[in-house]
Structure 1
Amino acid sequence: MSRRGENIYKRKDQRWEGRYIKSRKENGRINFGYVYGRTYKETKEKLLLKKFQFEKIQDSENNQYYPGTLYAWSQLCLERWKEKVKESTFNTYCYKINRYIIPVIGEYKLIEIERSHIKLLIQSWEKKKLSKRTIHQLFHLVDRLFSDAVKRDLTPKNPCFDVNLPKMATSKVLPLSLTEQRRLEEAAKSESNGEIIIFALHFGLRIGEISALRWENVDFDKGMLYINETYQRLTNVRLNTEQVTTELSLGSAKTSSSVRAIPLTDQMTLLLKKMKEKSRSSFIFQVGDKPMEPRLITYHFHKIRKKAGLNTIHFHQLRHTFATRLMESKGSIASISELLGHSSTKMTLDVYTGAVFEEKYRSLELMENIV
């Protein structure tokens, strides 16, 4: 039997159920929430707490806080961010927000989301078995949504504050050994489009940077190769829909530090001149009237690495191999970082710790021999 005016009921399973106003929808209709307890007293205490929280929300709304849901706010943010970030970055934001954030907490009003909701959101990502790196990226995106709202005084707090995330170990990509590199290069020399592999191993280029290379990027007089574009397949998620498509896009380099000039060695100058003599296209690697897309480059790579008897490597290892060979040749971290297009030497050190360790070990050995 319900107690008058309290909305507390005894259920058939002998538990007590209390109903409270959770929020009001944008059309004014009430959205109810429920609490449960083994006793009437326990349920009443839970219900009083929920009612108190709702009163705080109502007070917040009277203070001109944002009245809409997280979903509505996220779409406003995306519209604002669209003009400030690269197309590929914007598409990634759309995809992640609409795929992993909105389905879980999107219908809650922005000002009613608590730290407990963020924890449940993280748990939902863990249940999907997303990688720890992806979870960290998603969390920072949620944090940005709330940080933007706090800066504009549209919500009183950021519920992402002091939320613990799963610890993320720094992943290390192993380079090819010198023997493996020689086998791969030898196989590449006798295959069509094998120059792709030579470019990755001798310039340290990302796959999208290789796709986007034009002959106008090569300056034989100055002996330089200029990197300023990337060709990649983008994931598109239209605002306010779940429609997902992909399309190829030729755009500016990944970051400002990715725009760089790489000196041409005698070996690479000779290779490029031979390729230039045979080429009738504007892109160095071209199919039809467009750049060769990364998927096709990957296809040629796998064909050649199988011929070389290398069965467990992937394309990005070629870039790591380039960096490792430079370190083994006593190249400075600063120059290697610039050649790779990294934003800082710290990033280079974080990724290539193994090679740096070997260099440190040899330095200590030399010191001990002297002593």
Structure 2
Amino acid sequence: MARRGENIYKRKDGRWEGRCVIGKKPDGRTAFSYIYGKTYTEVKKKLEICKADRTQAKTMDRAQEVFRDGTLGAWMEFWLDGVIKPEVKHSTYAVYRGQVERHILPAAGKLNLSDISNKTMEIVYNAILDKNISTSTAQNICKRFMAALCSARDRNLISSLPVLPYKKKKYNRKKPRFMTLEEQKRIEKKLDERNSKDLAVLLALYSGSRVGECCGYTWQDFDPLAGGIHVSHSIQRVTLFHQQKQKTKLILTETKSDSSRRFIPLPRFMVQILVQFQKENKATGSDYIFGAGRKAMDPRVLQYYLTRVTESIGLRGIHFHTLRHTFATRFMERNGDVQALKEILGHSSAKITLEWYGHSTKQHIQKSMLKLNRLTA
């Protein structure tokens, strides 16, 4: 007997049979393609491939019908909503759409898709640079543009691709901004651990949590017995498109990547502070550690608050991500293991961790040098 919602049956001869809709017969009846296999799982996988191929064929037919002689703007709209949106997170889609609407469409949106050339790519690139946008960002937008054109070529809407209007250049990665020990002490003296925003800043300093992760922490994530906190989601403010009244919205999303889902062990004092904070705020019934009720704290609010606190003590240029860099630097200064830091920060590889935090502070270098003694003394 077939499972509900599936056209997969076990035959009398012991084999499994699956049916995939491929269209209509001349008499109007549904036409099927039949798939066979020794196991249910084998047939199910084959059916999924058949359905995917069918969906892709329909998409390509629609694209060719609508956009072969259409404008670049029409194609970009189709690419964003028909190709990109189903495959990426809402926040990523918002970034892509923002780049298209702010930079690509104003420069070339009215051109015919078939007329896109090397000159078009140069126009788009120069138009972005004229807005005082960094070279690396401008190049990333052009790569996004090229990805959309590759998708159009795959659907036989264009025969060739333009070349990128710049030569690949390796940029020296800037060292992360982190606070010195004295700066960190000044900030910590300013923090009141009974205040939710101050406690969020303190937690970031001793866990390396991102701002969206801090805002997304719930009391269910906190495990005082294990002595740490689980990172499973993040709060982000994303742009809403085709909305007249509300331009942005707070959403609860999955973590930045699979490696970002992790458990962060916390220092004992930090666990004790969170336990006490939970007792004192139990009456509010808040789901979020730093929110109110079922409403999470806005990452922008937390960032603005940190800016006010740091500027009040004479520190400038401190962003919430600076706290993450500071935590990593303190961890390495205390001879922390790179692999352990990689797990705590949620990096996909230790190579990334080393590239960002393989440096040493002047104070750490000086202490290391003072430990050296003459061997023949």
TM superposition score normalised by structure 1: 0.74
Q: What's the counterpart of residue 304 of structure 1? A: 309
User: How far did residue 267 of structure 1 move?
Assistant: 1.4
Correspondence for 1:322: 327
AA in 2 matched with 1:105 = A
Deviation for aligned residue 1:299: 3.4
CA distance in 2, matches of 1:111, 1:358: 60
1:272 to 268, 271, 274: 274
% of aligned pairs identical?
30
Once the two structures are TM-superposed, the CA of residue 83 in structure 1 deviates from its matched residue by 1.2
Alpha carbons 2:125, 2:139 under 8 Å: kept: no
1:106 to 90, 109, 112: 109
Deviation at 1:102? 1.0
Who is 1:261 aligned against?
Answer: 263
Q: Which moved more, 1:204-213 or 1:241-250?
A: 241-250
Note the C-alpha offset of 1:260: 1.1
Equivalent in the alignment of 1:157: 160
* 1:203-253 deviation per Cα after TM superposition (whole angstroms, max 9, x unaligned): 111111111100000112222310111112111223xx9998111111111
> Residues 118-163 of structure 1: CA distance to partner in whole angstroms, max 9, x if unpaired?
1121111111111223212211211211222233333222213574
**Gap regions ≥5 residues in structure 1:** 1-61
Which residue does the alignment assign to 1:245? 247
Matches within 5 A, 1:1-371: 66-79=68-81, 80-161=83-164, 163-164=166-167, 168-189=171-192, 192-193=195-196, 194-238=198-242, 245-280=247-282, 281-355=286-360
> Which residue does 1:40 correspond to in 2?
none
1:44 maps to none
The CA distance in 1 between the partners of 2:134 and 2:152, in whole Å, is: 28
Q: Cα deviations across residues 17-50 of structure 1 (Å, max 9, x unaligned)?
A: xxxxxxxxxxxxxxxxxxxxxxxxxxxxxxxxxx
Aligned partner of residue 226 in structure 1, secondary structure: strand
Distance 2:110 2:267 in 1: 58
Q: Residues 358 and 158 from structure 1, CA distance in 2 versus in 1: closer, same or farther, beyond 3 angstroms? A: farther
Shift of residue 180, structure 1, vs aligned partner = 1.1
Report the Cα offset of residue 286 of structure 1.
1.1
3-state secondary structure, aligned to 1:285 = coil
CA distance in 2, matches of 1:156, 1:362: 63
Asked whether the equivalents of residues 153 and 160 of structure 2 are also in contact (C-alpha less than 8 Å), the reply is: yes
Bigger Cα displacement from structure 2, 340-349 vs 79-88: 340-349
SS in 2 for 1:249: strand
- CA gap of 1:366–1:186, structure 2 versus 1, over 3 A, is closer
Code of the residue aligned with 2:206 in structure 1: it is H
- Distance change in 2, residues 1:65/1:84 (3 Å): closer
Shift of 1:65: 9.3
Cα-Cα RMSD: 3.1
Distance 1:161 1:126, change over 3 A: closer
TM, length-normalised to structure 2: 0.72
* Displacement of 1:290: 0.4
Q: Is the 8 A contact 2:125 2:165 kept in 1?
A: no
CA contact (8 A) 1:349 1:356 kept: no
Q: Is the 8 A contact 1:70 1:108 kept in 2?
A: yes
Task: Return the letter of the residue paired with 1:135.
Answer: A
Q: CA deviation at 1:100?
A: 0.5
| Aligned residues of 1:132 and 1:168 also touching (Cα < 8 A) | no
C-alpha distance in 2 between matches for 1:163 and 1:151? 24
Once the two structures are TM-superposed, the CA of residue 365 in structure 1 deviates from its matched residue by 9.2
The alpha carbon displacement at 1:171 in A equals: 2.9
Between the aligned partners of 1:338 and 1:357, the Cα distance in structure 2 is 26
Task: Please identify, of 110-119 and 317-326, the stretch whose mean Cα deviation from structure 2 is larger.
Answer: 110-119
SS in structure 1 of the partner of residue 88 of structure 2? coil
Residues 226/352 of structure 1: CA separation in 2 closer, same or farther (3 Å cut): same
Kindly provide the amino acid, as one letter, of the partner of residue 171 in structure 1: K
Alignment coverage as a number of residue pairs: 307
Q: Distance between the aligned counterparts of 1:329 and 1:103, measured in 2?
A: 51
Distance in 2 separating the partners of 1:304 and 1:164: 43
Change (3 A) 1:363 1:71: farther
**Unaligned runs of at least 5 residues, structure 2:** 1-63
Task: Please state how far the C-alpha of 1:322 moved relative to its aligned partner.
Answer: 0.5
Greater relative CO (CA pairs within 8 A, separation 6+): 1
